[in-house]
Amino acid sequence: MSELLLELRGVTKQFPYRSGPLRRVVGQIAAVRGVDLAIQSGEIVGLVGESGCGKSTLAKLITQLEPVSAGRIAYRGQSFTNGHASLAMHREIQLVFQDPTSSLNPLQRVGATLREPLRLHRLVSSAGACDEAVERLLAMVGLPQSYQRRFPRELSGGERQRVAIARALAVEPKLLILDEPVASLDVSIGAQVLELLRRLQQERQLAYLLISHDLRVIGSMCQRIAVMYLGRIVEEAPAAHLFRQPAHPYTELLLESAGLRHAGIEDQGELPSPLHPPSGCAFRTRCPLAQPRCTEENPLLLEKASGRFVACHFRP
Amino acid sequence: MKSAIFWVRLGGGFLVILAVLAVAAPLVSTHDPRAINLPEALLPPSSVHWFGTDSLGRDVFSRLLFGAQISLLIGLGAVGLTLWIGTVLGLLAGWFGGWIDAVIMRIVDIMLCFPSLFLLLAIIAMVGPSLTSIILIIGLTGWMTVTRLVRAEVLSLKEREFIQAARVLGLRAPQIMWRHLLPNALAPVLVSATLGVGTAILIESSLSFLGLGVQPPVPSWGNLLMDAKGTLGVAWWQTLFPGLAILLTVLAFTVVGEGLRDLSRRS
Amino acid sequence: MLDIQHLTIEFATRTERVCAVNDVSLSIGAGEMLGLVGESGSGKTTLGLAVTRLLPEPPAIIRQGAVHFQGRDLLQQPLRTLHRVRGGDIAYVFQEPATSLNPVLTVGRQLVEMLELHTAQRGRAAQQAAMGLLQRVGIPAAEARLRSYPHELSGGTKQRIMIAMAIASQPRLLIADEPTTALDVTLERQIVALLKQLQRDFSLSMLVISHNIHLIRQLADRLAVMWQGQIVEVGPAQRVLQQPQHDYTKHLLAAQPRVAGLAGGA
């Protein structure tokens, strides 16, 4: 019994680009360009892409850290692109950041870090209930109770990330956005954190938006995957289809580069600057299928088969 | 080279002793600091008058102790004021940016344009010297550095992920500023404040030396130096001890401040 | 080519003594690519820097061991002679090209500097050689690139330039420490292809240090696994990856995220 939690329609975000000694605005960086995305409750959606594709910016837009330049974001049908999100909204959607060292206040003890959201959202009615809740949170992420008194610098990277996860889940969100949750961690520690996330998702029927540049991480967790390139979603499909039958040439290139596919694709191009994205299809500078049409017309993300979307003039 | 923590302990130890002596001045001093005793004027240090007497027969040691109260009070009071004003303005400027930032920074720039000495003298001439007015004046002319420091810290902290996390959790700006920004922004401010106390004491001593600060008969270290102006050749103790007191105290604050800076830089 | 014998390195801080490299013996043959895999704190970077004594001593202390290269023990050589080896016969490529390149000098200047330092070429000849190097590493419009400053270039281009600087002196051994960690995966693939090409063209020996098993898998002939300062397993890359012997190696390989439902998704 799933419902539509999050819906993005035509979401666009531009940042002014300043240059020169007077820091004058000389251009716009279009970090996110016309993104459509939908996340159902209890679903694990992956967002994969390389530097500058806009995936982290998208996380900031969804959590209202940055305002949208154009387009619409709606949660359970309620739009919240204008102005600040209500306190209630912050209970529904939470975010775990990439770097656990800088995502925790270095001067705040673990216990206080976990108490803060509980008190803010009035989830506990007394100090005793608060203490119990903090104990439950620590147990939930597999940390000993003695850690309440510790400062972040006394914890290892993996432990800090667990605290960040506990903090995010303290408000009992329905949607958890994970922005490169294991990129700063050693592989074996990261594996434990991913396992924790998997378990929590099943226990609580959470929806995840997992953002990563690492296809293997995405592939190990996600049911549905969206591939981003220079601010646009170029392909979206169920995980199994994406890995076995990638439709978009960029997806093919990503899989090849990650060693998940061996089709001998050639690529000598580089990521174009987000300041001057290629006209039409942004991938055309590196695409073996490029034709004059690709320069003039940006391919729209169209549903080619049920649940499978591709933005390419020539695929599938 | 001695470690930073050594200097902090050394300077800090001195200041703690000084503070204790100053607070306990009524108990520790050997004589009444205001008791004029002309027959005993200009006596060199002895077992009765540890630091000798001044030209009115007053015990220098006792005057020094009570003067410590004044100096520390003014130093801490003035710096407290600069911290208050500077932190609030720095937080607002750094967090909100935009026109609030522009206005505050322009005020800072304008204030910095005034040569502080003349400003101090001018205001004292208008308001008249007293303990309160001196604290106010030194405070009101010294908050700009703190504002700049706090603003710079806030600007860099604003983009740190734990601040963003606080926003995502739903915390409002005042809560974020109080609980997350301020404690983390304080480190360089503390260094500046510690050094600032030394500076404030120097300013007060200079003003009192010129007769524009704490007015006699209230003893302040600057006052003591003023009284000693004519007697340098005859009664070296009258100049030496207050001068030494100022020197050591300002040095102690400087040493502690720089030690703190080294410590904070390391972490 | 390179023979490390019983190398032990400690770091002494004011409070404690940490053993970063513990009795490590490793060798690299001529024209061979050795991959050194380990997580953070395993000592792999320390080992790579120690080969040409790039570690500041103190706080590093080389307790014992020898590094045999071209018939000499590098650890016994006077420090000032080693600067000829560094960047000369043994070249390095590091993780962050942004911090390895001097931001106020053009790329051309820096390349020419390398060439003049380690080869007999000067002036015009060095300029030509620099352009040739850029072409070698696959940078288009080499002439224009020579006049560029590092900040004008992309991460991938900068890393290629680092590689160009490393091979400028025609080294026998290239030590690459996390060469692609700061790069996107599509760029990583290009750099891997470049490194393989260079290895073939110049019969280079290579020591590739990384935590990224996927990178090592593509590059290495032989693979050594490092954990807490010790080499726990070493052998032909394919063998180690497919039939790991040591528990840590097994643990490390098992921890790699696996794409669900994809055969050989690791």
In whole numbers, what is the pLDDT of chain A averaged over residues? Answer: 89
Q: What is the pLDDT of residue A267?
A: 76
Q: What does the pLDDT average to over A129-142?
A: 93
| Domain B4-29+56-266 fold | MetI-like fold (1.10.3720)
Identify the band that residue C262 occupies on the pLDDT scale cut at 50, 70 and 90: low
Q: Note whether residue C232 is domain-resident.
A: no
Q: Chain A contacts of C160, Cβ < 8 Å?
A: none
The model's pLDDT over C74-109, given as tens digits with 9 standing for 90+, comes to 888 888 888 777 877 899 998 887 778 888 888 888
The model's pLDDT over C33-74, given as tens digits with 9 standing for 90+, comes to 999 999 988 999 999 998 888 888 778 888 889 899 888 888
Where do the structural domains in chain A lie, given as residue ranges?
A: 4-103+172-250+294-310
Given a cut of 70, whether residue A50 has pLDDT beyond it is yes
C46 CB-near residues (< 8 Å, 6+ apart):
C9, C20, C21, C55, C60
Q: Which domain holds residue C218?
A: 2-224
Identify the band that residue A28 occupies on the pLDDT scale cut at 50, 70 and 90: confident
Q: Would the CB atoms of A65 and B184 count as touching at under 8 Å?
A: no
Q: A120 — contact with chain B (CB < 8 Å)?
A: yes
The model's pLDDT over A142-190, given as tens digits with 9 standing for 90+, comes to 999 999 999 999 999 999 999 999 999 999 999 999 999 999 899 999 9
Q: A30 — contact with chain B (CB < 8 Å)?
A: no
Q: Which long-range contacts (CB under 8 A, 24 or more apart) does C103-110 make?
A: C103/C149, C103/C150, C103/C151, C104/C149, C105/C149, C106/C146, C106/C147, C106/C148, C106/C149, C107/C134, C107/C145, C107/C146, C107/C147, C107/C148, C107/C149, C107/C150, C107/C153, C107/C161, C108/C145, C108/C146, C108/C147, C110/C161, C110/C165
pTM of the complete model: 0.86
Number of domains within chain C: 1
Chain A residues with CB under 8 Å of a chain C CB are 50-51, 186-188, 190-191, 194, 213-217, 219-221, 239-240, 243-244, 253-254, 256-260, 267-268, 270-271, 273
Greater pLDDT, C151 or C25: C25
Q: Is the CB of residue B7 less than 8 Å from the CB of residue B258?
A: yes
In whole numbers, what is the pLDDT of chain C averaged over residues? Answer: 87
Report residues of chain B scoring pLDDT below 70: 1-2, 266-267
Distance from C-alpha of A71 to C-alpha of C59, rounded to nearest angstrom: 56
Q: A108 — contact with chain B (CB < 8 Å)?
A: yes
The model's pLDDT over C118-157, given as tens digits with 9 standing for 90+, comes to 887 888 888 888 888 888 888 888 888 888 888 888 888 8
Given a cut of 60, whether residue C178 has pLDDT beyond it is yes
Q: Which two tokens stand for residue C80?
A: 């000032």
Q: What does the pLDDT average to over C196-204?
A: 89
CATH of range A4-103+172-250+294-310; options 3.20.20.70, 3.40.50.300, 3.40.1160.10, 1.10.600.10: 3.40.50.300
Q: What is the pLDDT of residue B219?
A: 86
Given a cut of 90, whether residue A88 has pLDDT beyond it is no
Given a cut of 50, whether residue C188 has pLDDT beyond it is yes
Q: What percentage of chain A has pLDDT greater than the value 90?
A: 58
Distance from C-alpha of A286 to C-alpha of A267, rounded to nearest angstrom: 6
Q: What is the pLDDT of residue C207?
A: 94
Partner residue opposite B169 with nearest CB, options A98, A107, A117:
A117
Distance from C-alpha of A30 to C-alpha of A275, rounded to nearest angstrom: 7
The model's pLDDT over A204-233, given as tens digits with 9 standing for 90+, comes to 999 999 999 999 999 999 999 999 999 999
The model's pLDDT over C234-256, given as tens digits with 9 standing for 90+, comes to 999 999 999 999 999 999 999 99
CATH number (domain holding residue C21)? 3.40.50.300
The model's pLDDT over A106-124, given as tens digits with 9 standing for 90+, comes to 999 999 999 999 999 888 8
Q: Would the CB atoms of A103 and B168 count as touching at under 8 Å?
A: no
Identify the band that residue C205 occupies on the pLDDT scale cut at 50, 70 and 90: very high
Q: Would the CB atoms of A95 and B160 count as touching at under 8 Å?
A: no
Given a cut of 60, whether residue A83 has pLDDT beyond it is no
Where do the structural domains in chain B lie, given as residue ranges?
A: 4-29+56-266
Q: What is the pLDDT of residue C265?
A: 45
Given a cut of 60, whether residue C266 has pLDDT beyond it is no
